[in-house]
Amino acid sequence: MSEIETTVRNEPITAGEQAPDFTLPAIVDGGEQIEVRLSDVWPKGRVLLVFYQDDGMPICTSELKAFAQEYELLHGAGVQVFGMNSNGLGSHAKFHERDHYPFPLISDFYGEAIKQYGLWDADEKKSARAVVIIGTDGKVEHVVPHFNPGNIAAFEEVFGALGLA
């Protein structure tokens, strides 16, 4: 069961705001289930939350693979990466089995945390594609609320915000 407040935002979260905390299940490569409590993670290094719509869809796969390709750079800079959507743990496990992402995939099955970040696509009934960077103080540092993985400038924006461009 997730531990999440029930705040729903109609607009994406913005830089400078406190990141909504959550405790949600996740799958790591190899199929192991873990629990991610965001407030336990951010003091250990900046957090990159990569919100995506569906496991296995081509555009979402390219979004996650791009961050997986740069994982060593991100990890070396102390950035903790998590993929996140409303797909279940079984779907995440199959996605990991197919593509072997070097970071956990968080399951926000009911979209509660996604809604707190203002990134719920009500029409599609799932997460929007977005990226949120959270600092070690738990404050949002940068948001790309309509992330387009086909646009190299979107990645440059994220890596620039992390000081890695």
> Could you read off the pLDDT of 108-136 as tens digits, one per residue?
999 999 999 999 998 999 999 999 999 99
Collapsed DSSP state (helix, strand, coil) of residue 8? coil
Q: How far apart are CA 123 and CA 119, in angstroms?
A: 12
Q: How far apart are CA 13 and CA 144, in angstroms?
A: 10
Tokens of 69: 């390709």
Q: What is the pLDDT of residue 1?
A: 40
Domains belonging to the chain, first-starting first, are 23-161 (3.40.30.10)
- Write the single-letter amino acid at 30: G
Q: What is the mean pLDDT of the chain?
A: 93
What's the predicted TM-score (pTM) here? 0.94
Closest by CA to 55, choosing from 97, 24, 85, is 85
Position 2 pLDDT exceeds 50: no
Closest by CA to 140, choosing from 10, 2, 14, is 14
Mean pLDDT confidence for 3-14:
76
The answer for residues whose C-beta is within 8 angstroms of residue 47's C-beta and 6 or more apart is 19, 38, 41, 79, 80, 81, 82, 133, 134
